[in-house]
Amino acid sequence: MKKIAFPTSNRKSIDGHFGHTKEFVIYTVENNKVVSETFLTPPKHEPGVLPTFLSDNGISAIITGGMGAMAVRLFNLNNIEVILGAAGNIEEVLNEYLKGSLLSTGSSCSHDHGDHEHHGH
């Protein structure tokens, strides 16, 4: 069993940055088939909170548009696979992931204001 999280604000498409999402859609997958879909409202965006929050909810992978390098490290430390560069319809991207054809671009999101884990959103 695997739980895959997608940040979303409209329950249809992937948010560009996980730290600004209204909620996460969580797919529980067994034998490459979705067995359940749930929604989680994240706690307030603070440094290091979301990796622990998702880990505590049993998440094994997060698929998102972008995140800072520190966040990627924190997710990895919580045994959560990070797939970056995803965009568009969540179900389509999930299907690509389940087929093994979705690859992370490996690019962390960058802004003028520095690392995402240290600014106040």
- With respect to residue 115, please indicate whether it lies within any of the assigned structural domains: no
- With respect to residue 41, please indicate whether it lies within any of the assigned structural domains: yes
CATH number at residue 100: 3.30.420.130
Contact 121, 20 (CB under 8 A): yes
Q: Looking at the 3D structure of the chain, how many domains does it have?
A: 1
Contact 38, 57 (CB under 8 A): no
- CA 70, 62, 46, 21 torsion-angle sign: positive
Q: For residue range 72-119, what is the model confidence (pLDDT) as tens digits? A: 999 999 999 999 999 999 999 999 999 998 888 765 554 433 333 333
Can you give the pTM of this predicted structure?
Answer: 0.85
Backbone angles phi, psi at 62, to 5 degrees: -125, 135
- With respect to residue 101, please indicate whether it lies within any of the assigned structural domains: yes
Strand partners, 62: 5, 82
pLDDT band at 67 (very low <50, low <70, confident <90, very high): confident
Pairing of strands 81-83, 23-30: unpaired
